[in-house]
Amino acid sequence: MKRYLLAFVLVIAVLSSSPIEAEEISAKSLLADVISQLEQVEDFKGTIVSKLYLGEEVIDYRTQVMKSKTRFMSNNLSDNSQLESEENKLLNSIPWIYLPPNYNILKNSLPLEGQLDYQEPLDKLSNLYNVELLGESIDGEREVYIIQLENMLAMQRIFVDKEYKTISKIEIFNGANIRLATINYRDISLFDSNIWLPAKIVVSDGRGRLLMEVIYQNWGINVGLTEFDFAKGFDTDYQTKIKQLKEKIKEQRDNDKLHWLLSDLYVKDGNLEEAVNSLQNAIRTKDSIEYRKKLVEIYQMQGKYREALGEVRVALQSAYNDAELNYLLGEVQLQLGRIDNARHSLEKAVDLDPKNTLYLEKLFWVYSNLAEESGKYMLERAEGVAEKLVKLEPKNKSYRIYLADIYLEKGEEFKAYQVYSKAVELAPEDTWVYIKLAQFYDKIDKDNKAEELYEYIVYLDDSLENQRRLADFYFEEGKYELALKEYKVLQSRSAGNLNLKFKVAESYLATGDRERGLDIFNKILEENSFGEFYLQIGDIVKQYDLDSAIDIYHSALKKEGLLTDEEIEEIYRRLGYIYFEEEDQKKLNKLDQLLEIDSQMKIYQLLGKYKFSAGDLEKAISYFKLALDRQDNVENHYNLALAYLMVDHLDLARQEAEKIAEIEEGTIGAEILELIDRVSSLQKEYKDIYVPGRINRIKGDRLRQQGKLIEALFRYRESIFENYDYKLPYFYVGLISAIREDNLQLEMAKSVLEGEELKLLKDLLIHIEDMNRF
């Protein structure tokens, strides 16, 4: 948990450098969002499977339910007699379980004795509890809001998923603050156009021991149930069909088709383990390629990718030229993160079935991802696949956009324009194709054309999102008056949107209306007493008015209990930059003036170190080279070797280290050579790891290799935000923070790293400090 909290703090800087994307929210509004989804449910139908875990025993209960606005029907498929056990008593003692989409009906489908004194548990909570919004957090990989309900007898914490606007977890405590249970709502899926609900509920006790699972099987919502459906009743339950088929198999054990049909029933019933067993029985009777393909798919559904890989390989031994098997092999290898192996398998599938657009599209995305790292060769391969897709389905606008994006990435602007334009012809009422064309014009600096298109997009579809695109475009182009006008219109359409308040306030500052801009920001701070807001607003304001930014930071420091220790340190760091920025600029100007008069080695050396610590390594290397031209000594080779090492010019860094070893008898040259080898080894270790955050990490690498450390830092932080367990971006965040003397960010990065990554970072830090001491 500590690691995730540190990762969360580490990416705060990303958020603080741009306007936040949060709306003004409260516990009441969040619960209203959850309830509003439930209110959209007009009918539902399905099977509720509940599994009670009583010691070593697992007992299943199944109930079919069907409900419309006017009727309700259920069919109990199990013996619902209550069992006397400590686990069952504990389960019934839990204050309440949120059971979407209809608590009253579903609670009667479960083997629970308690819960009967509750109606809809989300209604009128304020009559039973003190309700408080604790704030935002990360739960697993999801961003959530946490709401606390508390009275004298119990406390509950409700986790609301920020994207889905539905409950993802409830933690339940007794009056002594001892955890009684945790209820996790999993496999959240889109059941209708705006209805996100869980397909599985898992209940554990305070020690994490599994008590109960509730599974929604064959579930449908808003399927249009009629009186005929109720007259017809429920379909035969899969359990009945399974029992009937198992009786047949007793008489025909060697009938592989019966085992195959039984496996299919188990899949539909949600029992994937038994589905695997039945398929394996079918394969033992008859080793069919089709059976093995299905077994691979089930393993994928279970997340057992290594088992899936083994099955595909076995099948390929007898059907090496089966296109679908090669495609499945590519899919499984992607799921295992083996992108290069996946590429070869998908290429084989396409060779065997060159007109299969499913195979081609998957291969296109693999090439596109590899192009981020491998460059031109893979980009050209992606282009070839996109051209094939367009040829196979010339009216598919998405394939046209794939191809145009590749042309634009390659710098072939005219070709890109032609293909984007063709996509517009194919879908003249689809705003997305116009958005892509507008982004194209923006990228090639045809600002007038881009502006016309963004305005036309709003004309076609006056959605909040499209109007926001236009407002953001105006702001980025420096047309602050027009941006302000659009943001104000958006604000009037979206009452309470805090993000828009930020944009309106910043637009006022950008237009020179300091008083109005600061007034909005001050009101935001009065209404939202969060330390993070002071950091975000201060960061925006300092671009327009340093004195006002200083006032904001000082007012935050004066508020007792407002800031965390990390936020206090961050504010002092920012104040230090503000106070000394002008003085450092004066020093730099003096050095530049001195340079014109006296081009001595020491001046170039000082300029190089200044640029090095500022994160501009391209200029630092240029100055270090000039210093070396003036005087061939260990210090200049050392500075240049470290600078090259930081931007992955490993061969050049090695040359400088070898020269150091030639000039002096000490160990510095050998130490730098060892560091170069270790950095190279670390990069190779991560080269083929295909995980979330990889693309942003690669983009960060490219910027760092260009000497743009500040820009690279943002990419590495975004990579961490995508995947908190991805160690390599932490390593580079730590390295860049050390160069920039940002001790807070450095310590946070170090606290997450371990093993060789941490040791290598610490060893590099010693040399960075040595450079500053020379």
* Interval 465-503: pLDDT, tens: 788 889 999 998 889 999 999 888 888 776 567 788 889
d(CA 235, CA 269): 13
d(CA 689, CA 698): 12
d(CA 38, CA 496): 23
d(CA 514, CA 536): 17
Inter-residue contact 538 to 502 (CB < 8 Å): no
Inter-residue contact 333 to 321 (CB < 8 Å): no
Helix crossing, 565-597 with 601-613: angle to 10°? 160
Residue 145 has φ and ψ, to the nearest 5°, of: -100, 150
181: burial class by Cβ within 10 Å (0-12, 13-18, 19+)? Answer: buried
Residue 48, C-beta contacts closer than 8 angstroms, at least 6 positions apart: 62, 63, 64, 65, 106, 109, 110, 214, 215, 216, 217
- pLDDT, average across residues 524-533: 84
Of 189, 181, 182, nearest to 101 (Cα)?
189
Residue spans of beta strands (DSSP E) within 349-400: none
- Longest Cα–Cα distance of the chain, Å, equals 102
pLDDT category at 18 given cuts 50, 70, 90 is very low
228: burial class by Cβ within 10 Å (0-12, 13-18, 19+)? Answer: exposed
pLDDT digits (tens, 9 = 90+) for 288-339: 889 888 998 888 887 888 998 999 999 899 888 999 999 999 988 888 888 8
Q: Which two tokens stand for residue 712?
A: 């690279």
Among 68-77, 78-87, 141-150, 731-740, the least confident range: 78-87
Instruction: Evaluate whether the domain defined by 599-773 bears CATH number 3.30.1380.
Output: no
3-state secondary structure of 165: coil
Residue 369, C-beta contacts closer than 8 angstroms, at least 6 positions apart: 339, 690, 694, 695
pLDDT digits (tens, 9 = 90+) for 561-581: 888 888 887 887 777 666 555
Mean pLDDT estimate for the chain: 81
| Domain range annotation of the chain | 25-232, 599-773
> How would you label 672-693 residue by residue, b for 16+ Cβ within 10 Å and e otherwise?
bbebbeebeebeeebeeebeeb
d(CA 688, CA 62): 46
Q: Which two tokens stand for residue 503?
A: 């944009």
Among 124-138, 248-262, 309-323, 616-630, the least confident range: 124-138
| The pLDDT of residue 86 | 59
d(CA 443, CA 437): 10
Instruction: Give me the residues paired with residue 216 across strands.
Output: 48
Among 28-42, 104-118, 194-208, 753-767, the least confident range: 104-118
| The pLDDT of residue 323 | 92
Instruction: Give me the residues paired with residue 184 across strands.
Output: 169, 202
3-state secondary structure of 320: coil
Is the pLDDT at 82 greater than 70? The verdict is: no
Residue 61, C-beta contacts closer than 8 angstroms, at least 6 positions apart: 49, 50, 51, 52, 78, 80, 109, 110, 111
Q: What's this model's pTM, rounded to 2 decimal places?
A: 0.51
End-to-end CA distance of the chain: 41
d(CA 163, CA 145): 10
Among 283-297, 402-416, 683-697, the least confident range: 683-697
CATH number, domain 25-232: 2.50.20.10
- pLDDT, average across residues 344-352: 93
Residue 374, C-beta contacts closer than 8 angstroms, at least 6 positions apart: none
Residue 530, C-beta contacts closer than 8 angstroms, at least 6 positions apart: 135, 562
3-state secondary structure of 523: helix
pLDDT digits (tens, 9 = 90+) for 45-69: 888 888 888 777 777 788 888 888 8
The count of other CB atoms within 10 Å of the CB of residue 400 is: 27
Task: Name the DSSP class of 708.
Answer: B
Q: How are strands ordered across the β-sheet holding 179-186?
A: 72-76, 57-67, 44-54, 210-221, 200-205, 179-186, 167-174, 154-161, 142-150, 130-139
